[in-house]
């Protein structure tokens, strides 16, 4: 849990120098997405220790705090990160509002903008690769694979798999450019 939170915080910090405690507190105060990720990671940690012998004794009294914090983030910021989503380290949530992430797998060092919907009601949801940028108002639902380094433009509705290092846009989606380098926007 703490390694992932450190990666999330360093992604928001955007500097090479080490973090001080005051920097972490400032980042938590300023970035809604980082707050939501810390609460999500706390909930995942509770779920993992609950499965260990006598872990329920630690998890049970902490679950009400998690539920309250999670509900607050959902209602106040419009960020819903459900526990059935597997989110890799270093996720960056650029804006708050209308973000729903459920039943999916997100690789490390991805970026999500506002009004993004990820997940599926079915048993298998989307799989997002490493260093993927997902633009505002995008939808990725169903059994979809998005390759490493892909870019999903704003307003895109993904209806088919997106290969590695491609730019997808439109509704329904289409591949607009192959060998697209998204490092500048990440």
Q: What is the DSSP string of 92-146?
A: EE-S-SSEEE-S-EE-TT-EE-TT-EE--SSSS--EE-TT-EE-TT-EE-SS-EE
Give how far the C-alpha of residue 36 lies from the chain's centroid of Cα atoms, to the nearest Å. 9
Average pLDDT over residues 37-55: 91
Give pTM, 2 decimals.
Answer: 0.90
Is the pLDDT at 142 greater than 90? The verdict is no
Residue 40 confidence (pLDDT): 96
Q: In the beta sheet, which residues pair with residue 93?
A: 112
Q: Look at residue 186 in the predicted model and tell me its pLDDT.
A: 77
Question: Average pLDDT for residues 73-90, to the nearest whole number?
Answer: 94
Q: How far apart are CA 122 and CA 99, in angstroms?
A: 19
| pLDDT bucket at 148, cuts 50 / 70 / 90 | very high
Query: For all residues of the chain together, what is the average pLDDT?
Result: 91
Residue 54 confidence (pLDDT):
87
- What pLDDT sits at residue 178? 94
- Is the pLDDT assigned to residue 95 strictly greater than 80? yes
Domain spanning 2-178: CATH 2.160.10.10: yes
Q: What is the pLDDT of residues 110-139, one digit of tens each?
A: 999 999 999 887 778 899 999 999 999 999
pLDDT band at 82 (very low <50, low <70, confident <90, very high): very high
Going by C-alpha positions, the residue among 99, 84, 108, 86 that lies closest to residue 36 is: 99
Determine the pLDDT at residue 53.
86
Q: Which element (helix H / strand E) includes 12? A: helix 2-13
């Amino acid at each position: 849990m703490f390694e992932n939170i450190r990666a999330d915080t360093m992604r928001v910090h955007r500097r090479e120098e080490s973090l001080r405690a005051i920097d972490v507190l400032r980042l938590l105060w300023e970035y809604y997405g980082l707050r939501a990720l810390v609460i999500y990671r706390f909930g995942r940690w509770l779920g993992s220790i609950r499965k260990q012998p006598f872990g329920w004794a630690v998890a049970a009294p902490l679950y009400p705090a998690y539920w309250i914090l999670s509900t607050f983030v959902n209602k106040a910021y419009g960020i819903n990160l459900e526990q059935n989503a597997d989110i890799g380290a270093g996720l960056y949530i650029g804006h708050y509002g209308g973000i729903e992430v459920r039943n999916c797998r997100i690789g490390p060092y991805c970026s999500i903008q506002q009004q993004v919907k990820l997940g599926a009601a079915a048993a298998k949801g989307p799989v997002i690769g490493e260093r993927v940028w997902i633009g505002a108002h995008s939808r990725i639902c169903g059994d979809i694979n998005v390759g490493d380094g892909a870019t999903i433009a704003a307003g895109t509705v993904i209806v088919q798999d997106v290969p590695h290092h491609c730019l997808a846009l439109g509704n329904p989606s289409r591949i607009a450019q192959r060998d697209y380098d998204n490092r500048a926007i990440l």
